[in-house]
């Protein structure tokens, strides 16, 4: 009996995002942990300019402290695709024809943030009709946009903290009006965030008007839409969801930030934040959080995976949903992987399940009629 053909997995990383470097670290972890007896790995880096580069090594790029490099001789800013089978097109990069021995069976994106987690890459893969890990176009877009996400949470009865949203052009036109509104409706402290970004990039806490102005200016550098949330005296919890139409949820973990809040430095640089898994909370509270996580996953039409973040108000005891992350980090300090490890699914098996879910979802999509 012949040896079973390995599944060919294209690990896509980098990208035009403020989370480019985090993506390299995630790709490094995935490629180290994926089972070489079951899978052939095809690394596909995306530069900050948007060029696709086959064979880029995230480990070397991290060690060098540089983003994905363009192939030698390629001009800056030039869209350049390195094909798998001769023809430099997207279709050949992720070809699925059975006769092409170099064809990729499934794409595993670890592209965090804009253009990789927000539905843009997912739409491209849908057009190419290739299987891919994670949420679809709609779920990815909703999971990235903190405003639309919160509106849907409210619509299905999930409690969210007080917030307001405005556009960059509104801020540039009438900053005093916006500042007055924030102070009157939310007070201090507040958290100011770009509406479409993750890994706490561009997020700042403001305790007064001067800090608020600075925080808004920083957030406006990353997105045209800014979200301002009321600061809550709270504990922070996270749980992981895995599945398609019948998702399962992990144990609940608690994050105890090393800084005043769980910012980019606390997540990825100083390694001083504490992670408690399972969280030290009553069973009833843990079950409430887990139930809310599944509700959020279904409400946003998510699939594959997601990490769901919550607040527990220390003053009122109320559980609030904060946000979802549709492509959570896969670094060594990734909460998503650690939560599943604590729930009985080790990292290599988690990768297996995610790939299986991607192929299952792709097969289900093929059932849809595309013509009358």
Q: Is 235 annotated as a binding residue?
A: yes
Active site includes 371? no
Short-list 132, 160, 131, 102, CA closest to 299: 160
Active site includes 140? no
Which among 17, 19, 21, 26 is annotated as catalytic?
19
The pair phi, psi for residue 102, each rounded to 5°, is: -95, 5
Q: Is 271 annotated as a binding residue?
A: no
Q: Is 193 annotated as a binding residue?
A: yes
Short-list 215, 203, 324, CA closest to 257: 203
Strand order in the sheet with 39-46: 52-54, 39-46, 7-14, 106-109, 131-132
Active site includes 199? yes
Q: Is 200 annotated as a binding residue?
A: yes
Which among 26, 92, 199, 306 is annotated as catalytic?
199
Short-list 131, 110, 141, 94, CA closest to 361: 131
CA–CA distance, 98 with 109 (Å, rounded to integer): 22
Q: Is 236 annotated as a binding residue?
A: yes
Q: Is 230 annotated as a binding residue?
A: yes
CA–CA distance, 62 with 279 (Å, rounded to integer): 32
Q: Is 92 annotated as a binding residue?
A: no
Q: Is 364 annotated as a binding residue?
A: no
Q: Is 265 annotated as a binding residue?
A: no
Short-list 225, 222, 229, 208, CA closest to 171: 225
Which among 26, 140, 303, 334 is annotated as catalytic?
334
Q: Is 232 annotated as a binding residue?
A: yes
Residues 352, 35 contacting (CB under 8 angstroms): yes
Q: Is 72 annotated as a binding residue?
A: no
CA–CA distance, 248 with 242 (Å, rounded to integer): 5
Q: Is 146 annotated as a binding residue?
A: yes
The pair phi, psi for residue 138, each rounded to 5°, is: -65, -50
Can you say which residues are annotated as belonging to the binding site for ATP?
A: 146, 191-193, 199-200, 229-236, 322-323
Can you say which residues are annotated as belonging to the binding site for Mg(2+)?
A: 309, 323, 325
Can you say which residues are annotated as belonging to the binding site?
A: 146, 191-193, 199-200, 229-236, 309, 322-323, 325
Residues identified as active-site: 19, 199, 334
């Amino acid at each position: 009996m012949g040896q079973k053909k390995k599944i060919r997995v294209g690990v896509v990383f980098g990208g035009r995002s403020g989370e480019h470097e985090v993506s390299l670290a995630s790709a490094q972890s995935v490629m180290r942990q994926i089972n070489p007896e079951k899978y052939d790995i095809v690394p596909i880096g995306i530069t900050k300019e948007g060029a696709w580069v086959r064979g880029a090594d995230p480990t070397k790029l991290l060690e060098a402290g540089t983003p994905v490099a363009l192939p030698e001789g390629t001009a800056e800013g030039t869209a350049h695709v390195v094909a798998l089978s001769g023809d430099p097109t997207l279709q050949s990069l992720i070809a699925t024809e059975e006769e092409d021995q170099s064809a990729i069976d499934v794409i595993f994106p670890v592209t965090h943030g804009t253009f990789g987690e927000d539905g843009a890459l997912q739409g491209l893969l849908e057009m190419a009709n290739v299987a891919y890990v994670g949420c679809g176009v709609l779920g990815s877009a909703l999971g990235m946009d903190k405003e639309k996400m919160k509106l849907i949470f409210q619509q299905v009865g999930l409690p969210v903290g007080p917030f307001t949203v405005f556009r960059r052009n509104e801020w540039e036109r009438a900053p005093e009006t916006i500042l007055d509104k924030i102070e009157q409706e939310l007070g201090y402290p507040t958290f100011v965030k770009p509406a479409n970004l993750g890994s706490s990039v561009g997020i700042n806490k403001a305790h007064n008007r001067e800090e608020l102005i600075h925080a808004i200016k920083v957030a406006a550098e990353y997105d045209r839409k800014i979200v301002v949330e009321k600061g809550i005296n709270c504990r922070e919890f996270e749980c992981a969801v895995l599945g398609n139409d019948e998702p399962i949820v992990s144990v609940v973990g608690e994050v105890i930030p090393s800084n005043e809040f769980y910012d980019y430095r606390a997540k990825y640089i100083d390694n001083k934040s504490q992670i408690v898994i399972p969280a030290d909370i009553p069973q009833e509270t843990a079950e409430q959080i887990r139930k809310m996580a599944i509700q959020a996953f279904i409400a946003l039409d998510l699939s594959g995976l997601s990490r769901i973040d919550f607040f527990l108000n220390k003053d009122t005891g109320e559980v609030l949903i904060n946000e979802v992350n549709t492509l959570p980090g896969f670094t060594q300090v990734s909460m998503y992987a650690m939560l599943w490890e604590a729930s009985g699914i080790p990292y290599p098996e988690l990768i297996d399940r995610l790939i299986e879910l991607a192929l299952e979802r792709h097969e289900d999509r093929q059932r849809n009629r595309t013509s009358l």
